[in-house]
């Protein structure tokens, strides 16, 4: 399975994720405060290089999803077909994260019946033992 | 303001055979395509002084110029983002020729994607830091990335798999008329499509382009020079590139409106520079790495309104005799996937009147490059 290839801008995201927190980079200029994703050195709204990592509620909605089938890289092929989703954060709807919907943090990528997935479904973040954010369906 | 309008023309096209496996190297294939294009134009290799290619091209201009016997080269350019750069190569050479930086320009693409390694099998090397946000979650291949947009598009606008089938079928039908197409003798039916294996649901096998070995090239000169060449000149009427605000490459999920991709940006400039509009386009060659890119592009380039691209494909609109005949040599879905360069050469054939699926009296053609990544497009006219 692939691990994130982390760059300087993305490092804080993964550091917080490793401690079980979903935070997003947010402009720290007093008059701005816009969240942005993916992380980058400066704010596309105001140009400030000051940023902070703001906690989120960890809740979101499924924006879209796919079910990849082989040919796939080993590790992924063994769990295929699995789901990959894009989740829109409730706190910041323009922040969308790619992830997987699973039954438990370290459950296989194909642990949720695809029939339960739909666009708009509510999800809540969970974290694997090695710090990858994943998503569980909220009760309807 | 100075414009590019009709100042340069494509006067030669060339290609190798297309196959899943060709024995020759990419460099050899590139040389064959370039020499064929120059021969088609009736121009000696020693006259070539401009080259343009796009990234993921492994034959560079130094090797190519040396091998084919080009003269002193005064202009060369390499456009980023793989398949998004196909049309930009012609645009860069047209600009170079129009401004006197070169007199004979050659654009080319050589690929051994059919027999060589697929880029996604080495995701770390091929797709650096932005991939930290996608690869660990198993979003590994372009088909997965575009499949995500396709499902959202279906959800928002009621598009169905039948709409994607319309695209696949139009391309296959044209390939069945083109002996050079990889799928020449392989008709497609709705049943085959609907029962095909998934690649990344909602995309099935037939929603995906081919894996092809092959090379193509074309030759660009000034409009004045073009009058003395062997074939009817095909003028570069308008050209544009497109990299929208807050764009992020293929996974364009985190800009404000992921379903308006780079096509919208390129289209605004393309039409602003043109003497005609979408309703005057006689035939279109639209980048079809995946079927959903067609409805998205039809919207982006203004052939219909937002959300109407899927419905546009109904009633044979993309077939010969339809509202907008599409990818008349078979496109990336059914002729060959050579990062879109075959669409350029087919646009030229249509305007010369020599296509195997000729649109009667075609005088205008839209050609587009890869949608979903920073892109480019051309309006050609005879």
B46-55 average pLDDT score = 97
Confidence grade of residue A93 (pLDDT, cut at 50, 70, 90): confident
Q: Is B379 helix (H, G, I), strand (E, B) or coil?
A: strand
Distance to chain A for B248, nearest Cα, Å: 9
**Optimal mutation site among B136, B243, B244, interface A, most CBs of chain A within 10 A:** B136
Domain that holds residue B338: 8-116+209-381
Q: Is residue B250 part of a domain?
A: yes
A-chain CB neighbours of B290 within 8 Å are none
Residue B54 annotated as catalytic: no
Averaged over B311-331, what is the pLDDT?
Answer: 98
Q: Please state the ipTM of this predicted complex.
A: 0.97
Q: Is the pLDDT of residue B128 over 70?
A: no
Closest Cβ opposite residue B144 in set A1, A66, A96: A66
pLDDT of residue B119: 60
Residue A54 domain-assigned (yes or no): yes
| A18 falls within a domain | yes
CB contact under 8 A, B137 and A68: no
The verdict on residue A3 lying in a domain is no
CATH number, domain containing residue B283: 3.40.47.10
Residue A30 covered by a domain: yes
List the catalytic residue out of B153, B193, B287, B301.
B287
Q: Identify the active-site residue in B54, B153, B157, B337.
A: B337
pLDDT of B129 reads: 55
Interchain contact, A2 vs B124, CB within 8 Å: yes
Examine the residue annotation and report whether B337 is marked as an active-site residue of this protein: yes
Q: In what helix (H) or strand (E) does residue B223 lie, and over which residues does it extend?
A: helix B223-226
* Residue A72 belongs to domain spanning: 11-137
| B121 inside domain | no
Pairing of the two strands A96-99 and A122-127: unpaired
Q: Give domain status of residue B260, yes or no.
A: yes
**Mean pLDDT confidence for B42-66:** 95
Q: Given a cut of 60, is residue B127 above it in pLDDT?
A: no
Q: Residue A1: inside a domain, yes or no?
A: no
pLDDT digits (tens, 9 = 90+) for A38-92: 999 999 999 999 999 999 999 999 999 999 999 998 899 999 999 999 999 999 8
Provide the number of structural domains found in chain B. 1
B126, closest residue in chain A (CA to CA): A5
Owner of token pair 């062997």: B230
Residue B247 lies in a domain: yes
In a domain, A92, yes or no: yes
Q: Is B259 part of a structural domain of the chain?
A: yes
Please state, in angstroms and rounded to a whole number, the distance separating the CA atoms of residues B208 and B188.
Answer: 14
Residue B329's H or E segment, with its range, is none
| Structural domain includes residue B123 | no
Check residue B156 and give left, alpha or beta (phi > 0: left; psi -120 to 50: alpha). Answer: alpha
- Closest partner residue to B140 among A37, A67, A68, by Cβ? A68
If one counts the domains in chain A, the total is 1
Residue B217 lies inside a defined structural domain of this protein: yes
How large a percentage of chain A has pLDDT more than 90?
90
Write down the pTM of the prediction.
0.96
Q: Return the higher-pLDDT residue of B116 and B233.
A: B233
Spell out which residues of chain A touch residue B136, defining contact as CB-CB under 8 Å: 1-4, 132
Place B123 in a pLDDT band, splitting at 50, 70 and 90.
low
Q: Is B376 exposed, middle or buried (0-12, 13-18, 19+ CB in 10 A)?
A: buried
In a domain? residue B364: yes
């Amino acid at each position: 399975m692939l691990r994130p290839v982390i760059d300087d801008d993305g490092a804080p995201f993964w550091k917080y994720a490793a401690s079980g927190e979903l935070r997003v980079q947010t402009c720290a200029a007093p008059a701005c405060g816009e969240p942005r994703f993916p992380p980058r050195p400066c704010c596309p709204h105001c140009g400030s290089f000051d940023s902070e990592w703001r906690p989120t509620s960890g809740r979101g909605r499924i924006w879209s999803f796919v079910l990849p089938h082989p040919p796939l890289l080993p590790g992924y092929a063994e769990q295929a077909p699995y789901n990959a989703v894009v989740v829109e954060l409730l706190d910041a709807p323009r922040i969308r994260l790619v992830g997987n919907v699973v039954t438990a943090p370290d459950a296989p990528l194909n642990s949720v019946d695809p029939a339960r997935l739909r666009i708009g479904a509510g999800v809540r973040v969970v974290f694997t033992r090695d710090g990858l954010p994943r998503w569980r369906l909220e009760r309807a | 303001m100075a414009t590019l309008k009709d100042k340069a023309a494509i006067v030669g096209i060339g290609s190798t055979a297309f196959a899943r496996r060709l024995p020759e190297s990419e460099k050899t294939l590139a040389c064959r395509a370039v020499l064929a294009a120059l021969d088609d134009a009736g121009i000696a290799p020693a006259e070539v002084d401009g080259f343009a290619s796009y990234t993921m091209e492994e034959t560079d201009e130094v090797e190519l110029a040396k091998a084919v016997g080009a003269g002193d080269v005064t202009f060369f350019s390499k456009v980023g983002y793989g398949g998004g750069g196909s049309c930009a190569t012609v645009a860069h050479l047209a600009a170079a020729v129009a401004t006197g930086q070169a007199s004979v320009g050659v654009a080319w693409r050589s690929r051994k994607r059919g027999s060589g390694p697929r880029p996604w099998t080495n995701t770390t090397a091929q797709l650096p830091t932005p991939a930290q946000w996608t690869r660990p979650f198993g979003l590994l291949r372009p088909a997965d990335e575009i499949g995500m947009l396709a499902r959202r598009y279906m959800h928002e606008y009621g598009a169905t798999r039948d709409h994607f089938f319309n695209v696949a079928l139009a391309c296959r039908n044209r390939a069945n008329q083109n002996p050079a197409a990889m799928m020449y003798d392989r008709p497609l039916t709705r049943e085959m499509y609907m029962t095909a294996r998934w690649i990344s649901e909602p995309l099935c096998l037939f929603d995906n382009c081919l894996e092809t070995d092959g090379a193509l090239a074309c030759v660009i000169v000034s409009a004045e020079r073009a009058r003395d060449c062997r074939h009817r000149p095909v003028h570069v009427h308008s050209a544009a590139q497109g990299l929208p605000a807050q764009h992020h490459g293929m996974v364009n999920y985190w800009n404000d409106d992921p379903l308006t991709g780079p096509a919208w940006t390129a289209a605004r400039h393309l039409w602003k520079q043109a003497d005609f509009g979408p309703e005057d386009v006689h035939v279109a060659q639209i980048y079809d790495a995946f079927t959903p890119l067609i409805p998205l592009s039809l919207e982006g380039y203004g052939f219909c309104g937002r959300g109407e691209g899927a419905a546009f494909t109904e009633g044979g609109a993309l077939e010969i005799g339809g509202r907008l005949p599409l990818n008349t040599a078979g496109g990336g879905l059914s002729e060959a996937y050579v990062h879109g360069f075959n669409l350029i050469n087919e646009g030229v054939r249509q305007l010369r009147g020599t296509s195997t699926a000729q649109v009667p009296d075609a005088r205008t053609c839209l050609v587009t490059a890869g949608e979903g990544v920073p892109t480019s497009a051309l309006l050609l006219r005879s």
